[in-house]
Amino acid sequence: MFDDAITLNSGEDDYVHRWIDGSPIDIPVGKVVCVGRNYADHARELGNEVPDSPILFMKPATALASLHEPVVIPKEQGPVHHEVEMVVLIGKRIRKETDLENIRFSIAAYGVGLDLTLRELQNQLKEKGHPWERAKAFDGAAPVSGFIDARGISVRQNLDVTLEINDEVKQHGHTGLMLFPTFELLAEISQTFTLEPGDVVFTGTPAGVGPLNSGDKFTARLGNIIQVFGSIA
């Protein structure tokens, strides 16, 4: 199901959700809910404790961008780190839900994305006890691939999540290593934040995060269902 030569930019500046073939998805663009430290090895590599409940933060819709277009990173604000993640597109409202079957049928599609992070700035904000938004929620901080219909995809199976930069594997894990699996994670999120159609959930990143540089070429993969060849502007 790889499609290496698609173009997901319609020529407009505004991001829209799209299927992997480039056609638009008839669903609005909503908020981005992110999960921190959902892989134990990533928590440890940054010197953080492994959490016993999901660490949640949000990005606005303006953080969304197409991973199939050159990824624009902030200049002169310190290193921008890559965090490759499986991404979930919500298709039906999820509010204070506990039934995992209802959760499953509320997912419209799956994709792969990069949670871009201004790492030095994030560390400075954390030291001061300040929120992370300046380091995590800037415009274009959540580039995502086109999406694959959730029907027929079982995330109970282990899906590899991989990022190569300049032909070198930088991050590799699989969804079976997530501390909080997909359906349980969405149920937990819905106890605090209602998930609306068009919202996107970033499910956490494996170890190996590091800096991106202008001119880098990357390949982001989700199992054998999505593969994106991209570049950093």
115 within a domain of the structure (yes/no): yes
6 within a domain of the structure (yes/no): no
Instruction: Domain count for the chain, please give it.
Output: 1
The domain in which residue 195 lies consists of: 32-231
Residue 210 belongs to domain with CATH number: 3.90.850.10
69 within a domain of the structure (yes/no): yes
117 within a domain of the structure (yes/no): yes
Kindly report, residue by residue over 80-122, the tens digit of the pLDDT: 999 999 999 999 999 999 999 999 999 999 999 999 999 999 9
Asked if 176 contacts 158 with a C-beta cutoff of 8 angstroms, the reply is yes
Kindly report, residue by residue over 173-225, the tens digit of the pLDDT: 999 999 999 999 999 999 999 999 999 999 999 999 999 999 999 999 999 99
Asked if 186 contacts 202 with a C-beta cutoff of 8 angstroms, the reply is no
Nearest to 201 by CA among 108, 134, 105: 108
